[in-house]
Amino acid sequence: MDKELQIYNTLSRKKELFTPLHPPLAGLYVCGPTVYGDPHLGHARPAITFDILFRYLSHLGYKVRYVRNITDVGHLENDADTGEDKIAKKARLDQLEPMEVVQYYLNRYHKAMDALNVLPPSIEPHASGHIIEQIRLVKEILDKGYAYESEGSVYFDVPKYDKEHKYGILSGRNIEDMLNTTRELDGQEEKHHSVDFALWKKASPGHIMHWSSPWSEGFPGWHLECTAMSKKYLGDVFDIHGGGMDLIFPHHECEIAQAVASTGHEGVRYWVHNNMITINGQKMGKSLGNFITLEEFFTGNHAMLAQAYAPMTIRFFILQAHYRSTVDFSNEALQASEKGLARLLEAYENINRLEAKGSGVKDEIGVLESNCYRAMNDDLNTPIAISNLFEASRIINSSISGQTTVSGEDIDSLKKLFETFLFDLMGIKDEMKDGGASYESFAKVVDLLLDMRLQAKQSKDWATSDKIRNELTALGFEIKDTKDGFEWKLNK
């Protein structure tokens, strides 16, 4: 079977066959969160996108070293070289140690990622734990002549680098345009050119996070951490660097410049970027009132949400779009995903009810399986893979209703198709089954209550029988009396 993954490389602007530098090892570095606020939808998409890549590469037999950093220093408010550090600001406002802010939101981030069934990376390094590596990298760039010191800070000399190596290859921006559109420096500033970026910043008197360096008591620039940490854990050249499209410029562009300036060559072989999420067609933002945290989605506790959405609904919804397309959240779209996922999970459950009746649909299932692989190999096309699972559901349902016959081998292949693609690769789990107590024990308790209700009815204890029925109904159970006893299902 063809299992050759073609992945879209933002740098070459085309799909390329993935061939790791040191097979069977595959190195994957993804820019992780800046932890100064509750995890929201914007965190879910890159986490899920690269979780799929991580799962698929592992499935293909690669030994993946997946590094996802925690930005806990140096990310200034306006994404440039000025403004307050986002974590330090939160710490100041809440009267906390910066690391208390980091730990608090990191715990919440991990909890949300667990709920979304995002696998933990192999290494999760903190920028603040790698100051020595970052200082060493600044020295290397200074030694190579691509940076300069100014008033205790160190800046990357973008025009000088551009002359020799071309700055802007990832984003397609060009330095003349950037110089034309950015304001003129007023001569008071430390930077030589408006396009230069900080490698090291001298801490101002009120700045609470700072370390000693040869240049000043200060802190590293935001872009530096990823270059330093990817180099440390994956080497000077590694396979895949991922992140959201919003990071292409300036963050990843600066990472390329830092790597080339320090080593003389590029460090990343495939640049992979996920597209953004909008809410009802608008960009998500605190000022627009459409900023929804993951916890608010899970509890339904937000004015814009018509109901609570299970983590798997969010995950499935994100996977129903290709990672390079935009995703627009709306109640209607999420409700449609919720129904779609329920249909797939029900079809999977129904496989257990299928009876082997001789001649089967081996060829059709074989086609669906190779379609799923073809979709995943084609730049992780999860929506196409999902549509093939819906096709498989149709086979299952038509076999249940007696229109199709399946063989024992077909039943096994259908099971394997769902287990491989829906559960192992898409990372969907049946929340009803996996939510702490098993579904089986949960179902037994409901059966027990309904048995008690049946006995109460037989002894004409209407009060008890009604109480059980009413309370279960209020909890969302639909109960149907049948000639053999009862049937129930949970509607939520």
Binding site for Zn ion (CB under 5 A): 31, 226
Distance CA 285, CA 219 (A): 28
Q: How far is the CB of 263 from Zn ion (least distance, A)?
A: 17
**CB within 8 A of 367, min separation 6: which ones?**
none
Task: Sort 492 into a burial class: Cβ within 10 Å, 0-12 / 13-18 / 19+.
Answer: exposed
Q: How far is the CB of 197 from Zn ion (least distance, A)?
A: 13
Q: How far is the CB of 273 from Zn ion (least distance, A)?
A: 12
226/368 with CB nearer Zn ion: 226
Residue 55 main-chain phi, psi, to 5 deg: -65, -40
Q: How far is the CB of 315 from Zn ion (least distance, A)?
A: 23
- CA 70 from chain centre, in angstroms, equals 14
Q: How far is the CB of 166 from Zn ion (least distance, A)?
A: 21
Distance CA 114, CA 108 (A): 10
Place of tokens 């010191």: 149
226/450 with CB nearer Zn ion: 226
134/399 with CB nearer Zn ion: 134
Q: How far is the CB of 430 from Zn ion (least distance, A)?
A: 34
Contact 126, 69 (CB under 8 A): yes
The alpha carbon torsion through 57, 63, 66, 67 (nearest 10 deg) reads -150
232/433 with CB nearer Zn ion: 232
Q: How far is the CB of 239 from Zn ion (least distance, A)?
A: 16
226/417 with CB nearer Zn ion: 226
Q: How far is the CB of 271 from Zn ion (least distance, A)?
A: 12
224/312 with CB nearer Zn ion: 224
Task: Convert 156-193 to b/e letters by CB count within 10 Å (16 or more is b).
Answer: bbbebbbeebebbbbeebebeebeeeeeeeeeeebbeb
31/351 with CB nearer Zn ion: 31
Distance CA 51, CA 391 (A): 25
The alpha carbon torsion through 453, 455, 457, 463 (nearest 10 deg) reads -60
Residue 149 tokens, joined = 């010191």
- CA 251 from chain centre, in angstroms, equals 18
131/226 with CB nearer Zn ion: 226
102/226 with CB nearer Zn ion: 226
**CB within 8 A of 298, min separation 6: which ones?**
115, 308, 309, 310, 311
Residue 141 tokens, joined = 């760039």
Neighbouring CB atoms inside 10 A of 22's CB total 12
Neighbouring CB atoms inside 10 A of 380's CB total 26
198/361 with CB nearer Zn ion: 198
Q: How far is the CB of 34 from Zn ion (least distance, A)?
A: 10
In terms of Cα–Cα distance, which of 27, 48, 104, 13 is closest to 323? 48
Place of tokens 């020799």: 164
Q: How far is the CB of 275 from Zn ion (least distance, A)?
A: 17
Contact 199, 140 (CB under 8 A): no
Residue 439 main-chain phi, psi, to 5 deg: -60, -40
Length of the chain: 492
